[in-house]
Amino acid sequence: MSTGNIQKTLTQHIQDQQRTHLEATGHLSALLTQLGVAGKLIAAQVRRAGLIEIWGDTGDTNVQGETVQKLDRIAQDVFVETLTASETVAAMASEEENSIIEVNTHQAGDYIIAFDPLDGSSNIDANVSIGTIFAVYKRHGQDEIVRRDVLRPGREQIAAGYILYGSSTMFVYTAGKTVDGFTLDPSCGEFFLSRPNIRMPDKTRVLSINEGNEAYWPGWVKPFINKIKTRNNQDKRRVTSRHIGSLVADFHRNLIYGGLYLYPADARSPQGKLRVLYECNPLAYMAEVAGGAASDGTKRILDIQPEHLHERTALIIGPKNEVALAEQFIKEHS
């Protein structure tokens, strides 16, 4: 194989970014690097989805006598174990756990992380793209971890990203300056920079909303999506509709192609369905760094002060002008 054209690896990129921060300690770089490792470990398990179950005799135990776990539980354990061993985090909040996961004091580091180990897990059995989403915060101080260390507005994030297990595995993250994407080369187990400085396109080519929820929508939603659809005319289709049902995959596609994702609060989920800490905040932060926007309909997602670990919100995320248009519709219909 020719070596003349090797792209930057994730580790190299993280180190290069660290060099531009004079006061950097290297701890955030260590954390981000370990997130890449956790992503590779989870990707390896995701590629075995379906096999893990058929190897089990009883559904509970596989041929090696190991307990057969659900993939979302495996992803959770991989994340917690990898990050604890990295000695970079003090506490974690996960979609899979009711309470804050504290790291014992001798292994605790400077950061707090909120994550969804396997977003879109209801899609696993159909081989649809799923992903891990994470948000990173700096710890307030060296005191005992309290809820306010974790229940913080998203604007305090210092890094966020996701690992997408799709037709290839991608690690996409921001530490506040650019959003960069890395593709896993399974033959050598490295993430290579494949999409530097991703920018959210201004134009909405894709509209993503679960139209099955129409019966529960508040008044503004239908006229708003109709308005977007009227951009299509006889000679040109400008907008198309795509909804995967894995937020992380819907967001990634929209970030690349240009699209607007909506999950409004509705009669079934009056607070909205998606979780603030580990779904909406990290993606909102990435959207903003990439030039887009994210709102709950009246305010910036990153300004929500969460009261609970698993708090929910409405989400409108995509190009700035489209998010503003949705907010205008909400105002006009309230």
Adjacent-strand bridge partners of 132: 163
Measured from the CB atom, the residue of 14 and 326 that comes closer to ligand AFP is 326
Measured from the CB atom, the residue of 62 and 132 that comes closer to ligand AFP is 132
Please report how close the Cβ of residue 234 comes to ligand AFP at its closest, in angstroms.
Answer: 31
SS3 track for 197-231: CCCCCCCCCEEECCHHHHHHCCCCHHHHHHHHHCC
Measured from the CB atom, the residue of 200 and 249 that comes closer to ligand AFP is 249
Please report how close the Cβ of residue 210 comes to ligand AFP at its closest, in angstroms.
Answer: 4
**3-class SS of residue 34:** helix
Please report how close the Cβ of residue 121 comes to ligand AFP at its closest, in angstroms.
Answer: 4
Measured from the CB atom, the residue of 82 and 246 that comes closer to ligand AFP is 246
From 198, 161, 160, select the one nearest 180 (Cα to Cα): 198
Interacting residue ranges for ligand AFP, rule: CB under 6 A: 119-122, 210, 245-247, 273-274
Backbone conformation region of residue 26, classed left if phi is above 0, alpha if psi is from -120 to 50, else beta: left
Please report how close the Cβ of residue 218 comes to ligand AFP at its closest, in angstroms.
Answer: 16
Please report how close the Cβ of residue 123 comes to ligand AFP at its closest, in angstroms.
Answer: 6
Measured from the CB atom, the residue of 153 and 245 that comes closer to ligand AFP is 245
Please report how close the Cβ of residue 245 comes to ligand AFP at its closest, in angstroms.
Answer: 5
Please report how close the Cβ of residue 189 comes to ligand AFP at its closest, in angstroms.
Answer: 26
Please report how close the Cβ of residue 207 comes to ligand AFP at its closest, in angstroms.
Answer: 14
C-alpha to C-alpha distance for 74 and 116, rounded to whole angstroms: 12
Encoded tokens for 72: 């979302």
Please check whether residue 54 is in contact with residue 67, taking contact to mean a CB–CB distance below 8 angstroms.
Answer: no
Please report how close the Cβ of residue 64 comes to ligand AFP at its closest, in angstroms.
Answer: 28
Strand ranges in the chain using DSSP code E only, listed in sequence order: 89-94, 101-102, 111-119, 130-138, 159-165, 169-174, 179-185, 190-195, 206-208, 240-241, 259-263, 274-275, 293-295, 312-313, 315-318
| Bridge-based pairing state of the strands 312-313 and 274-275 | antiparallel
CA dihedral 52, 56, 62, 67 (to 10 degrees): 80
Measured from the CB atom, the residue of 100 and 317 that comes closer to ligand AFP is 317
C-alpha to C-alpha distance for 131 and 251, rounded to whole angstroms: 11
* Residue position matching structure tokens 């509705």: 266
Measured from the CB atom, the residue of 62 and 121 that comes closer to ligand AFP is 121
Q: Taking the CB of residue 145, how many other CB atoms lie within 10 A of it?
A: 18
Please tell me the total number of residues recorded for the chain in this structure: 334
Considering only CA atoms, give the Rg of the chain: 20
Measured from the CB atom, the residue of 107 and 166 that comes closer to ligand AFP is 166
Measured from the CB atom, the residue of 173 and 261 that comes closer to ligand AFP is 261
> How far is the CA of 334 from the CAs of 220, 227, 298, in angstroms?
8, 18, 11
